[in-house]
Amino acid sequence: MKNYDNVTIFNHPLINHKIAILRDEKTSMKEFRELIEEITTLMTFESLKEGVPTIEREVKTPLEVCTQQVVKDNSIVIVPILRAGLGMVNGVHVLFPSARVGHIGLCRNEETLEPYEYYCKLPDGIEDKLVMIVDPMLATGGSACDAITQLKKRGCKNIKFMAVIGAPEGVSRVAEAHPDVQIFVSTLDRCLNENGYILPGLGDAGDRLFGTK
């Protein structure tokens, strides 16, 4: 895959260790859910190194008064792509407990692999917030592109997208369609199979999170 200015592939040893357990078909639903949350928290920490709205606050230490940067209240909205994105929400909330949550329901048509939208509920004023779209899997990129387009139509200008595993095809598609969106992926896998599943991947993230198969 070519290099894109708006794409960061973490490839971090601690995250990779957790992804190895996540991929394992023997990993239980409980452990899978916990790992997705832990990985999300690690990714959030790094993804929000830049672009978080902050303000200055005066703090009185035991020794003197100083000025400290703090995260601006009500400045971040998490938008999980249903269903699997739900598994990442708590991982962001660990760091930003007051972040509001919008939901976009997208499901891939198993034949065309194109997503269709079945639900969308976003907090008022989202257009002025930093929006973190989360979905564990970025495969063809159809769902990510669609979610980003929906948010842009509602006026959102500051959007980041976070996925645990990406396929080169999908990452390139989103990076080229939305060069203004920062894309963060923990690991880049080899390719997609004929059914649009990521190889080696981890299977169907939604089914593994919610035990639907």
Q: Is 156 helix (H, G, I), strand (E, B) or coil?
A: coil
**Residue 198 interacting partner from ligand PRP, ligand URA, none (CB closer than 5 to 8 Å by kind):** ligand URA
- Bridge partners for 80 per DSSP: 134
With contacts defined by CB under 6 A, name the span among 25-33, 57-65, 107-115, 125-133 that binds ligand PRP.
Answer: 107-115
CA-closest candidate to residue 79, choices 115, 153, 129, 113: 129
**Residue 201 interacting partner from ligand PRP, ligand URA, none (CB closer than 5 to 8 Å by kind):** ligand URA
Minimum Å gap between C-beta 204 and ligand PRP is: 6
Q: Based on CB atoms, which residue is closest to ligand PRP, 59 or 177?
A: 177
Asked if residue 198 binds ligand URA (CB under 6 A), the reply is yes
Asked if residue 204 binds ligand URA (CB under 6 A), the reply is yes
Give yes or no: 112 in active site.
yes
With contacts defined by CB under 6 A, name the span among 54-62, 72-80, 91-99, 139-147 that binds ligand PRP.
Answer: 139-147
Catalytic site residue from 23, 27, 100, 108: 108
**Residue 83 interacting partner from ligand URA, ligand PRP, none (CB closer than 5 to 8 Å by kind):** ligand PRP
Q: In the set 19, 78, 92, 137, which binds ligand URA (CB under 6 A)?
A: 137
Give yes or no: 24 in active site.
no
As to burial, measured by CB atoms within 10 angstroms (0-12 exposed, 13-18 middle, 19+ buried), residue 168 is: middle
Catalytic site residue from 54, 112, 149, 212: 112
Give yes or no: 204 in active site.
yes
At residue 198's C-alpha, the angle toward residues 194 and 201, to 5°, is: 140
Radius of gyration of the chain (CA): 17
Residue 81 near residue 159, CB atoms below 8 Å: no
Q: Based on CB atoms, which residue is closest to ligand PRP, 38 or 204?
A: 204
Q: What is the DSSP pairing of strand 115-121 with strand 182-188?
A: unpaired
CA-closest candidate to residue 98, choices 119, 126, 127, 71: 71
Q: What DSSP line would sit under 93-148, residue for residue? A: HTT-TT-EE-EEEEEE-TTT--EEEEEEE--TTGGGSEEEEE-SEESSSHHHHHHH
Q: In the set 85, 142, 166, 201, which binds ligand URA (CB under 6 A)?
A: 201
Would you give the distance in Å from CA 69 to the centre of its chain? 25
| Residues catalogued as catalytic | 108, 112, 204, 207
Q: Which residues bind ligand URA (CB under 6 A)?
A: 84, 137, 139, 196-198, 201, 204-206
